[in-house]
Structure 1
Amino acid sequence: MFFIGCDSSTPKASPSVVEPFKDGDKVELKSVSGAKITLLRQNGGFVIEDDEEKILMFDIFGTFCAPCQEEAPSLMDFQLQNADNVMLIGLNFFEEVSDEYVVENFAAKYNAYYFISNAATNKRLVETILRDIQYKATLQVPFKVVLKKGVYQNVRDIYTNLPDTKFYIGKVGLDVIQRDIDRIVEK
């Protein structure tokens, strides 16, 4: 028999695993197909350098994730329909695989030919995003945020139907995303 006890002192907050990006920082991203963009940390969020007016949507996903696979073709359609106003950036997360693996087992298989980053930088980028929106729960994928001019936008919570959250979680219908984007474009 043994006894286990807890310390009555206040628990200490654990330090962040990674240093978040700061305003003015540049983040070079390369897609699994070889395209490159530079993100600029601005207004507590991110913009595309030299295209700051374009709305950014980050899709944090995993190639193994069934809902991510199911919504990939719709996201591709969304990107094609909104290319003038929106840049969709997929951030592969929770796994360490090669770009070739992502192309063969996700992009080609599920028609996901939008900008997908599979870089080690994704971890720092995702942790910065989560810190920015003060997301405290365990990250589940797919997880999306939308930014305009570096500011995180309110989007419709698909579970409560309230338009006052900073993220989408789970598989989200294209109609919901399109309504939010149309509203954000008009602002």
Structure 2
Amino acid sequence: MILVENNNKSFVILYVAIGFVIGGILSIPIATWFYFSPAPTFEINGQIGDFFGGILNPIVALMALVWLVKGVKLQQKELEETKFALQASEKHQAAQVRISAITALISSLNDEQHKLRDYRKTVQIAVDDIVKQHDEQARQLPPGSTLCMDVWEVSRMEELQALNSAIEKYEEQKTAYLAELRTILEG
């Protein structure tokens, strides 16, 4: 933006300099005209007006055209810079949305893992009680006899194994999401 402002200042200085040069060049014939000519009449005044109009109109029109072209080029440049800024903003916004989604998934996985761990503690306590009871009953049996666990006891132990594998699965998913999050943040 500073470059554009400096460029506009130099452009204005150029216009002022051209105006002084043209004014100086025109002042010589005008001064000569008034000094050596007889008293001006309406006819002579009209000729002087035509002279100024014929000389200054194309110069002013040319300066206006140059100024218009410069303005259009400046607007094109600013429009392109705005387009690049919007594209960069769009990329960052898309990355931010993805980061938010991954963060929400990780938070959800953490909540589920916490619930599963709490439930696993409950099941673990029940399984530990079952194992203790089973060991006590096995000690009371005569040597050489066997003790079978009932279906409920076995299902609780399988449930504990399933909980452990589910917790591990959530941990793997969380690790994958964290790796993706690191990739987004580094890129």
Q: TM-score, normalised by structure 2?
A: 0.13
Structure with the greater alpha carbon radius of gyration: 2
Quick check: which one's helix share is greater? 2
Quick check: which one's strand share is greater? 1
